[in-house]
Amino acid sequence: MLTSSSRLLERIQQLIATPSVSSVSPQFDQSNRPVIDLLANWLDDLGFAVRIEPLIEQPNKANLIATLGRGPGGLVLAGHTDTVPFDADRWRFDPFGGVIADERIYGLGSTDMKSFLALAIEAAREFATRELSQPLVILATADEESSMHGAQALAAVGQPLGRHAVIGEPTELKPVRMHKGILME
């Protein structure tokens, strides 16, 4: 039986091992669907209602919206599934290896932001069997690192997913209350 921390580490490594480079240059651009499918399976196993929404302009890319509980309001834990293009020769370790060294995980997307998605799902496990008064939503978007097509597709629908959101972008542990382009209440 996996402990919470060993399961989290294994999932981070699985996400890192799953390529999802996003680029405006077609020669580097990849689908994010393998990452979306991994997340969807894990969330489905926890009892989330999972929606995979392919992007109209790029059907090989999708957003994922997974909801636990029902009703208005709630909390959204949001992140993106794509990574930046890379030069493997500049890496000390395999960019898709998820190698642990010097008390760190090395791999493409380990900080920005595949670890957050795995952590959000592991944290959600604590609520999976509880009756929630407001929904918990895990949102995973496409193309944050390039075209923002995933966020644009969500904005076009114009339906709020929750009252509050935590975005798992790395901020050097400095809380950020708002940012340009974010709609606030």
Q: What letter would DSSP give residue 172?
A: T
The residue with tokens 């390529």 is: 19
| Cα 11 to the center of its chain, rounded Å | 12
Active-site pick, 29, 82, 122, 143? 82
* Active site annotation includes 143: no
Q: Could you give the C-alpha distances from 97 to 85, 110, 114, 129, in angstroms and in order?
A: 16, 10, 13, 33
CA distance 88 to 13: 18
* Active site annotation includes 144: yes
Q: What letter would DSSP give residue 72?
A: S
Active-site pick, 29, 112, 143, 144? 144
Indicate which residues carry an active-site annotation.
82, 144
